[in-house]
Amino acid sequence: MAHKTTIYDIAKKLGITAATVSRALNDHPRISEATKKMVMSTAREMNYVPNKLALALKNGKSTNVGVVVPFINRHFFSNVIRGIEEELYPKGYNVIICQTHDEEQRERDIIQNLMNSQVEGIIISIARTNTKFDHLEQVLKKGLPMVFFDRKRDMEGVVSVAIDDFQGGYDATMHLVKQGCRTIAHLRGDRTLEIYWERFKGYQQALKDSGLAYREELVLDITSVEEEGLRAAQRLMAVENPPDAIFSSSDYGALGAIKWLVQKGYRIPDDICVVGFSNEPFTQIMDLSISSVDQSPMEMGRMAARVFLDGTDVTDTAKTQKRVVLSPTLMVRDSSLRDSGPVPSPKVD
């Protein structure tokens, strides 16, 4: 694996100085066209490749940005990453991705490693298990721009990008009300996570605004898996005065619920309407397609990247806004769309 050619090699071959070569390569104004041509062509000949590392060391800037997520292969995160990459690549940045596996220790290691790597910034959805946050404070202390998305946290000098989960919960519930549902249950996600709590609050508010009673026994805590949605549906329908609609904080929960309901002979959406959350691909593919709240993950990624770029562009002034809130979009589908008249506001695909 031969020696990598440097500007010195080119200089030597041409009987000039490395400095001149450097200038020629960078199209410096006061370099003769002749030498420029020479340098360019021999550079190509010798398979010259500029060394970004050297440049980075010199400038103290690496042109790398760290992106940290729990798992890369989740639909939501892979789309966010795509958005980030597509926004950053044209600006000359490379994206380094890391997975925390939702483990705090791993997140700490990763942050440390990214700082070592001299990334220009960190875009992160924090791990759910986090109890302490000093590693993130560290980042700020170093003057490294940081952006949160999805799993955010209030922190001085960090902009967060997320959808309005409250709004999502509110819209979903309101939609159910408009479909004529009067007894709406909720499958709630992990209460300690802000996003789930907000969805729940949105649900409550919608009930209130509609003059519907909030009944505790209609709110069940589940994790985001089919099996739990299934059991939850079973429990709900055994309640006295059972629900005629279910708003699930996750699509998998909705899926499980629907499967159980269908199997038991309930007609959807006539007997009972169901709405999920996240707009997972499968929701629109099902024979009975599932209504769901879209989080526009790619757009979220783009936005997070833009926030980062703005932060670096700006000449250190205006601390801009503290959080960017994206609006969720309710996708109305079979599982909650009753024939009785058209639905005006929400999107139907």
Q: Is 186 in contact with 338 (CB distance < 8 Å)?
A: no
| The pairing of beta strand 159-163 with beta strand 146-149 | parallel
Q: Is 147 in contact with 312 (CB distance < 8 Å)?
A: no
Binding mask 37-76 for DNA (x = CB under 7 A): -----------xxxx--xx-xx-x----------------
CA nearest neighbour of 224 among 340, 5, 75, 348: 75
Report the Cα 335 to chain-centroid distance in Å. Answer: 26
User: Does 225 contact DNA by CB under 7 A?
Assistant: no
Alpha helix segments (H runs only) across 248-292: 251-263, 282-285
Among 36, 128, 201, 259, binds a copy of itself (CB under 8 A): 259
Q: Which amino acid is at 114?
A: L
Q: Is 98 in contact with 67 (CB distance < 8 Å)?
A: yes
To DNA, the closest distance from the beta carbon of 25 in angstroms equals 6
Cβ proximity to a copy of itself: between 82 and 231 the closer is 82
Among 8, 12, 72, 271, binds a copy of itself (CB under 8 A): 72
User: Does 23 contact DNA by CB under 7 A?
Assistant: yes
Burial class (CB in 10 A: 0-12, 13-18, 19+), 88: buried
79 binds, among DNA, a copy of itself, none (CB under 5 to 8 A by kind): a copy of itself
User: Does 17 contact DNA by CB under 7 A?
Assistant: yes
Among 8, 71, 89, 133, binds DNA (CB under 7 A): 8
Q: Which stretch binds DNA (CB under 7 A): 15-23, 131-139, 179-187, 281-289?
A: 15-23
User: Does 6 contact DNA by CB under 7 A?
Assistant: yes
Q: Which stretch binds a copy of itself (CB under 8 A): 216-224, 227-235, 239-247, 286-294?
A: 286-294
Among 2, 34, 285, 318, binds DNA (CB under 7 A): 34
Alpha helix segments (H runs only) across the chain: 7-14, 18-25, 33-45, 52-59, 75-88, 104-116, 134-141, 165-178, 194-209, 226-238, 251-263, 282-285, 297-313
Residues 45-64 that bind a copy of itself (CB under 8 A): 47, 49-54, 56-57, 60, 62-64
Binding mask 82-101 for a copy of itself (x = CB under 8 A): x--xx--x----xxxxxx--
Cβ proximity to a copy of itself: between 52 and 191 the closer is 52
The tally of CA atoms less than 13 A away on the side-chain side of residue 219 is 16
To DNA, the closest distance from the beta carbon of 94 in angstroms equals 17
Q: Which stretch binds a copy of itself (CB under 8 A): 34-42, 70-78, 123-131, 187-195?
A: 70-78
Q: Any residues with CB less than 8 A from the CB of 332 and at least 6 apart, and which? A: 175, 291, 343, 346, 347, 348
Which H helix or E strand runs over 222? none
Tell me how far apart the alpha carbons of residues 4 and 294 are, in angstroms, rounded to a whole number. Answer: 49
User: Does 255 contact a copy of itself by CB under 8 A?
Assistant: yes
Residues 149-208 that bind a copy of itself (CB under 8 A): none
Q: Any residues with CB less than 8 A from the CB of 1 and at least 6 apart, and which? A: none
Total residues contacting a copy of itself (rule CB under 8 A)? 55
Among 26, 47, 73, 340, binds DNA (CB under 7 A): 26
Q: Any residues with CB less than 8 A from the CB of 115 and at least 6 apart, and which? A: 138, 139, 142, 144
62 binds, among DNA, a copy of itself, none (CB under 5 to 8 A by kind): a copy of itself
Tell me how far apart the alpha carbons of residues 1 and 25 are, in angstroms, rounded to a whole number. Answer: 25
Footprint on this chain of DNA (rule: CB under 7 A):
4, 6-8, 15-20, 22-26, 28, 30-32, 34-35, 48-51, 54-55, 57-58, 60
